[in-house]
Amino acid sequence: MPVIALREPNPSLTMQRRSHAAGYVILRELNGLLHLDLPECAALDRLDFATRQLRAGESLVHCGDECRALYAVRFGSLRSAMIDADGAEQGLGFPMPGDIVGTDGLATGRHTAHAVALERSEVVIIPLARIAEIARTLPGFDLVLYRIIGRETLRDHATLYLLGSLNAEGRVAAFLLNLSERYGELGYARNVFNLRMTRNDIASYLGLTLETVSRAFSAYASCDLLRVDGREIEILDREALQRAITAPSAVLRGGRAARPQSGRYGGALALAS
Amino acid sequence: MPVIALREPNPSLTMQRRSHAAGYVILRELNGLLHLDLPECAALDRLDFATRQLRAGESLVHCGDECRALYAVRFGSLRSAMIDADGAEQGLGFPMPGDIVGTDGLATGRHTAHAVALERSEVVIIPLARIAEIARTLPGFDLVLYRIIGRETLRDHATLYLLGSLNAEGRVAAFLLNLSERYGELGYARNVFNLRMTRNDIASYLGLTLETVSRAFSAYASCDLLRVDGREIEILDREALQRAITAPSAVLRGGRAARPQSGRYGGALALAS
DNA sequence: CGCACCCTTGAACAGTGTCAATTGCCGTGG
DNA sequence: CCACGGCAATTGACACTGTTCAAGGGTGCG
């Protein structure tokens, strides 16, 4: 799998990366990475965490692994999925910088999903034991924990809405806009980006087949909402894409004005993480 | 909405209910309700929590409400859903005794989903501030928090699998078996139970229409896997239902032996929470 | 050069959604 | 008391979305 460079790297992230060539980061950086808003405190510079580098295709957690730590993505991107006895996969998400990986193992002590790097990536290892240590050191840290947890829940709920209420084209539109937002928040371009995952990965995540995903891309491209060149995506008409989330096929059939919709397809939802 | 009595009530739960006529429970009971395995400690009997009674149809949390507490269902059952601008709902789950409601508000401080009681219910109110208090009082409580969180994540992932990888009949079969397991764990009958929710509620949760849900019920009934009488369900052939989760229409077409399956439908997954 | 993926496109079919009609139940009010 | 309206559920007919199966092209790599 080719390593595709991101454009317009976030200056602050780059600086942080350079300033810690060794395999660890201090809590202050983790604080910024996860947007924790931790209170200013000496511990921010005292507590440090090991990191781990992943090559494209390398696994971070396997299904069945014991869960001793959570992982905060520092750069790169992963694919998380659950797998059943027959080898059929259900994609669960695409963790990117600032996301947490591994919360699925907290309940039973063993991971039920696996996570694989889609490109060269780095994660910060947060041992569960250290979390308790931080909680003792930093008053008000519990609030921060809640925030992390709640973010995961929100993301899952957004995906449930996506799978339960949207048709194929709506799912693809929502997926791309969500990805665009996340790139934007990381300091990258919102309108042009390279997909790190295959059509199959996307299909697995969206509950579709890869053919349907490919057709949705082509359909959006043919009416100039999108420019698609393999994995390079350019968003040409963000508003129309937004409408396409809930207006089944209306955008693609030349109907600029959404037909009066009733039934299960209707309404918009902020998918921003 | 009629209040339908559960059969074979769990003795221990009944006892707990009787022993606290007033509107509060002590941490020891919460410990048992949520299966927290808290270490034996004086605080178990010292810390107490207010409860809240809900009538059928009453809301526990509204979308947009400020999030100051989590709620542990003590008895009854609720329906949780998110709603978009057009009023279209996406069901998120059916919290039952031992489940936690409200984690969706932890990230932003406001709830994005609402929760409504399906019957007369009671919840234990766990203010976020109290959680910090417990964490200070009880060493090792953080591990317990992780367990609660992880359980939520697991449930969400199971639902994602359901929506992303199963066809209509598979979703209904998985839904019923999951419900059956949860009733069983609560001490009720596994094979006979009354649904608390409408076909529409089920459909919203499963990402289907109510007609499709109804047809799935009828199909299972017509080949004697299920007895369906309105909301009263009896599971007649659990193993066949289990197979029906991943064998699209095979069970209903008289084929006892699953045809060799390829493609997106295949494999089994434990949906037990 | 050949092989393994990845992606696109086409055609036919199957699974679900949509629309509509009917039944039964329940609480309300004549 | 029964009539009525509203709600829940079932069932049928039909249209359409998305899957399945198939073929072909592009690209990277051994």
Q: Is the CB of B260 under 7 A from strand D?
A: no
Which protein residue's Cα is closest to nucleotide D20 at C1'?
Answer: B263
Could you check: is the Cβ of residue B161 within 7 Å of any atom of nucleic acid strand D? no
Dist CA A54 CA A66 (whole Å) = 19
Q: Are A83 and B263 in contact (CB under 8 A)?
A: no
- The chain-wide mean pLDDT, for chain B, equals 85
Q: B14-41: per-residue pLDDT in tens? A: 344 444 445 899 999 999 999 988 888 9
pLDDT of the residue at A7 = 34
Read off the pLDDT band of A9 (50, 70, 90): very low
Is any atom of strand D within 7 angstroms of residue B231's beta carbon? Answer: yes
More confident residue, B95 or A36: B95
Model pLDDT, residue B140: 75
pLDDT at A252: 54
* Partner B contacted by A185 (CB < 8 A): no
Range among A38-52, A123-137, B74-88, B186-200 with highest mean pLDDT value: B186-200
Adjacent-strand bridge partners of B117: B78
Identity of the residue numbered B216: A
Least confident window among A52-56, B82-86, B219-223, B242-246: B82-86
Is residue A214's beta carbon less than 7 angstroms from any atom in nucleic acid strand C? yes
Can you give the pLDDT at residue A167?
Answer: 97
| pLDDT for the residue A139 | 77
Of A107, A131, A146, the CB nearest to B106: A146
The region of weakest confidence among A92-96, B3-7, B263-267 is: B3-7
Residue B165 CB lies within 7 Å of the nucleic strand D: no
Q: What value does the mean pLDDT of chain A take? A: 85
Return d(Cα B225, Cα B236) in angstroms, integer. 5
Query: What is the structure's pLDDT at B256?
Result: 38
Predicted confidence band of residue B249 (pLDDT cuts 50, 70, 90): low
Neighbours of B32 (CB within 10 A): 17
Do B150 and A82 count as a contact with CB atoms less than 8 A apart?
no
| Highest-scoring range by mean pLDDT, A69-78, A83-92, A147-156 | A69-78
Whether A264 sits inside 8 A of B209 (CB atoms) is yes
Check whether B5 has a pLDDT greater than 80: no
Residue A68 reports pLDDT greater than 60: yes
Q: Are A30 and A212 in contact (CB under 8 A)?
A: no
Is the pLDDT score of B159 beyond 70? yes
More confident site: B13 or B203: B203
Pair of tokens at residue B121: 């219910």
Residue among A86, A107, A151 whose CB faces B266 most closely: A86
The answer to whether residue A268 scores a pLDDT higher than 60 is no
- Å separating the CA of residue A102 from the C1' of nucleotide C5: 29
Counting beta carbons within 10 angstroms of the beta carbon of residue A120, is it exposed (0 to 12), middle (13 to 18) or buried (19 or more)? middle
* Averaged pLDDT for residues A65-92: 93
Q: Is the pLDDT score of B133 beyond 90?
A: no
Name B237's Cβ contacts closer than 8 Å, sequence gap at least 6: B224, B225
State percent of chain B over pLDDT 90. Answer: 67
Give A103's DSSP letter: G
Query: How many angstroms is C1' of C29 away from CA of B210?
Result: 31
pLDDT at B272 > cutoff 60 = no
**pLDDT surpasses 50 at A46:** yes
- Report how far residue B224's alpha carbon sits from residue B221's, in angstroms, rounded to the nearest whole number: 5
How far apart are alpha carbons A229 and A116 in whole angstroms? 24
The pLDDT value recorded for residue B262 is: 41
B84/A153 Cβ within 8 A: no
Sign of the CA dihedral with B158 first, then B160, B164, and B167 last: positive
Look-up of token digits 């695409």: A94
3-state secondary structure of A175: helix
Minimum CA–CA partner of B163 in chain A:
A163
Mean pLDDT across B201-205 = 98
Total CB pairs under 8 A between chain A and B: 165
Å from the A170 CA to the C3 C1': 36
Q: Which of A194, A235, A178 is closest to A7 using CA atoms?
A: A194
CB atoms B91 and A164 under 8 Å: yes
Query: Which pTM value belongs to this model?
Result: 0.87
Question: What value does the mean pLDDT take over residues A51-79?
Answer: 96
CB contact B246 to A (< 8 Å): yes
pLDDT per residue over A210-252, tens digit each?
A: 999 999 999 999 999 999 999 999 999 999 999 999 976 655 5
Contact call for residues B237 and B143 (beta carbons, < 8 A):
no
d(CA B219, CA B212): 10
pLDDT value at A255 more than 80: no
Q: Tell me what pLDDT residue B137 has.
A: 82
Tell which B residues from 89 to 148 touch A, by Cβ distance under 8 Å.
Answer: 90-92, 103-108, 112-113, 128, 131-132, 135, 142-143, 145-147
Identity of the amino acid at B187: G
Q: State the pLDDT confidence band at B147, using cuts at 50, 70 and 90.
A: confident
User: Chain A 189-228, CB below 8 Å of chain B: which residues?
Assistant: 204-207, 209
Q: How far is B114 from chain A (nearest CA, A)?
A: 12
